[in-house]
Amino acid sequence: MPVNGREVVQRFDRLKRGRSQHDERWERMAKYIAPSRVGVTYKNAEGERQTREVYDSTTLMAAELMAHFVAGHVISPGQQWHGLTMRVGLDIADPIQEWLEECRDITLKNAAASPFYAEGAECLIDWGGFGTGMLLAEEAPQAINRTQRGFRGFHFVAEKTGRFLIEDGADGSVDTVFREFEMSARVIRMRWPDATLPESIAKSLLGESEKLFKIVQGVYPRPKVEQASYRANGMPYVSCWVEYESKELLYESGYRVFPAAVPRYHRTPGEVYGRGRGDLAFPDTWTLNTAKRMGLEDWALKVRPPVLHAHDSVIGTLKLTPGGPTSVNTHGRPIRDVVVPFETGSHPEVSQIKEEELRKSIREIFYVDHILALLEVHKSEQTAFEFARKLELLFKLLGPVYGRLEHEFLNHIVEIMFDKQ
């Protein structure tokens, strides 16, 4: 059954409306937890400063530390972090076991030669901070597909929170992903040289216009597989690209295995998108930033207090910069009575006490002290037993979510890699 561009756009719009309830929450959190994710509900200007509302970096560093620690233990490039075996209950002959081990080694080698580990860590920042991450094994452009056959290496990309739409299948696992892009007519033609272009894109191409067109990609289960094959209509998952305005199909391909791993930290009943540690940390993070901003204002008032002076005593403008000269007419009075600082009663040290309480709470939410304790073991003379005990304690705390991470992320990533090779 051919892909209907109009139905693809309608489904995209429906999923985007469903996600809108999360967009504002993510935007609010991103400012303080992962500023590079700011721009969920609007498009950032290139080069725009992303930390302009951040007065304290505790949450930024805590979220990144937790994500990198988890990544270092579940997908470490220095370890054999996965294995391959037959289904439970089947005896494995030695040649088969050797072949599985060889496949594992090749997979690990190809992963190390790709951006997999860097993109995987980015995915886990979204997983831990916002509750939902996505690591997608992208397909090569049509032009490359025509000239290069066979395995061309892994091409994983971690999509940022708010840049993708998902939908669950019947078993509760994500089996549908939609993304949107802006492309010029020139890029569209280069990416899909065989595509029949909509009239608007064709005209833009002839006029060498740099106008950007909205392109929607959908990946979802194929309603009906005609006959299993390597042709697009013979693969279980559709991958289609549609021009949004004209609703015309640009390109269709397929996957044998769903190409996206979408781990969710914690799921609330009735919600497709997960919720992460950032949701718990946000109240303290917002309060800490507010307290820090007010504390800086208090320090400024303490160091450079407002100045009181008689309305006819200052000649010209009162200079408040360091070393700035100001001419005054004392009218025969002592200078200290002409221009005097105004004491506001600010006490910045009070806000500092509250700030430390909030930082401690944020570190607890992201398990920072547990992680740092493990890192200290390597620097000290503590035994391997002590390290194992502390690691066990941390993974007991992470236990409920680690099981979901293994199912939705690790197992599926290995399945994707094995299929692509």
Tell me: the pLDDT tens digits for 11-21? Answer: 999 999 999 98
pLDDT at 30 over 60: yes
- Give pLDDT, residue 48: 58
Per-residue confidence band for 397, with pLDDT thresholds at 50, 70 and 90: confident
Of the two residues 148 and 39, the one the predictor is more confident about is 39
Phi first, then psi: give them for residue 263, nearest 5 degrees: -75, 140
C-alpha 76/C-alpha 78 separation (Å) is 5
Mean pLDDT over 261-281 rounds to 94
Inter-CA distances, 245 with 5, 199, 215, 239, 332, Å: 10, 11, 9, 19, 79
Of the two residues 172 and 46, the one the predictor is more confident about is 172
C-alpha 270/C-alpha 10 separation (Å) is 22
Of the two residues 397 and 170, the one the predictor is more confident about is 170
The conformation of residue 234, written as its DSSP 8-state character, comes to: G
The conformation of residue 358, written as its DSSP 8-state character, comes to: H
pLDDT at 154 over 80: no
The DSSP-derived string for 25-59 is HHHHHHHHH-GGG--SSSPPPTT--S-TT-S--HH
Query: pLDDT for 174-204, tens place per residue?
Result: 999 999 999 999 999 999 988 889 999 998 9
Q: Is-contact 34 266, C-beta < 8 A?
A: no
Six-digit token pair at 417? Answer: 């890699």
Phi first, then psi: give them for residue 177, nearest 5 degrees: -135, 135
- Give pLDDT, residue 209: 75
Of the two residues 53 and 408, the one the predictor is more confident about is 408
Amino acid identity at 75 = I
pLDDT at 413 over 90: yes
**Least reliable range by pLDDT among 201-205, 285-289, 387-391:** 387-391
* pTM score, whole prediction: 0.83
- Give pLDDT, residue 124: 95
With both helix axes pointing from N to C terminus, report the angle between 116-129 and 58-74 in degrees, rounded to the nearest 10: 130
For residue 157, the surrounding DSSP H or E stretch is strand 156-159
Q: Is-contact 408 264, C-beta < 8 A?
A: yes
Q: Is the dihedral of CA 307, 311, 312, 314 positive or negative?
A: positive
**Least reliable range by pLDDT among 9-18, 42-51, 123-132, 380-389:** 42-51
C-alpha 242/C-alpha 289 separation (Å) is 43
